A and B are shown apart, each in its own frame.
Chain A
Amino acid sequence: MSSARRRLILRAAAVLTLVSGALMVYSMLFPKPITVVLAMSLGQGIGILGVVGYLYVVIHDGIDRRLSIPPAPRKETPKP
């Protein structure tokens, strides 16, 4: 997965987290049937989607790093 794609997914996931949080806070400030039901269904679904996006990126990132970057022996660069 390209790093641009990773970023895009992560940013989308971040926005989802914001939306989900906003729905929940709104439902607490204005506890009407529609707000509470939306927060507890749609809001939580959106939040979970955000987490899934995050995990997807982080796991892919971890795998890619392991595959593409061989653990090079660290050498102290001689200081001038």
Chain B
Amino acid sequence: MDVSTSSLVSNPLVAAAIAATALSSLLVLWFLIKKPPLNTATKLRLFAGMFVLPTAAALAGNLVGFQVTTQRSFCAGCHVMEPYTDDSADAASTSLASRHARNGWFGKENCYTCHADYEMFGTVLTKASGMSHVYYYYFTDWGRMPKDEFLKAVKISKPYTNRPCMQCHSTTTPGFAEVRDHKSALESVRTNEIGCASKGCHGPAHPFSKIAKGEDLNPPRMDGPVDLTPPPEPEDGGVSASPTDGGAP
């Protein structure tokens, strides 16, 4: 509800889409009720009511749709996601996902920022894949699962790459390179041989993910053992994190 009311008040696109739809409906209702002769004036009015205004409304509506679908509250709309969204909303949580939920710019859409790669957004193909999740939720057993069962069953659809992380963490700042493990693994990180969010590095990203299943989909694949001792200095321009603190509280 808070999404809807706030977006109504603050989002001019929503207002525009609703206004265009209202006008369009008036014209169409006029035609249905008054039954005017099919002359040029009627045709023009219907052109506005059935084509111009709905197209404008659809354009604005799609933009709103993309905005809405980036919100964490939208993800929470499917109840099986609630453990994830609750964890992100929990200010005391130390999971990587939750620590990305406190930023003023993208905190409310943190799921999207890390999962944009394959979720509802981006290319048409990935959008279709996001749609398919909604389909699974409503039309298959996925949506009827109890949450704890879901947590055990859900699996990331393809190995998580470092690309989403690197959209924000460029890996090129001096502070980043000062971290011992970063320095030694830089190439492997950039080439996805080592997952940033893998267990032992900064992952798992969610308290439930790997731990619940006792498996790591993103194992650090290094030839030697990874050195997991916390770095002495703060990393990345004052953002302090120790490589072992990721995930499970």
Contact = CB atoms under 8 A, between A and B. Distances in A.
Contacts of A21: 21, 24-25, 54, 57
B65 interface: yes
B62 A17 contact: no
A73 B145 CA distance: 75
A20 B54 CA distance: 9
Interface in A1-58: 3, 6-7, 10-11, 13-15, 17-18, 20-21, 24-25, 27-34, 36-37, 39-41, 44, 47, 50-51, 54, 57-58
A31 B28 CA distance: 25
B43 interface: yes
A14 B4 contact: no
B49 A10 contact: no
B24 A61 contact: no
A42 to B, nearest CB: 11
A31 B74 contact: yes
Given A7-B38, A10-B46, A24 B74 contact: no
Contact of A14 (B17, B31, B47): B31
Interface in B1-56: 3-4, 7-8, 14, 17-18, 21, 24-25, 28-29, 31-32, 38, 43, 46-47, 49-51, 54
Interface of B: 3-4, 7-8, 14, 17-18, 21, 24-25, 28-29, 31-32, 38, 43, 46-47, 49-51, 54, 57-58, 61-62, 64-65, 68-69, 71, 74, 77-78, 131, 134-135, 137-138
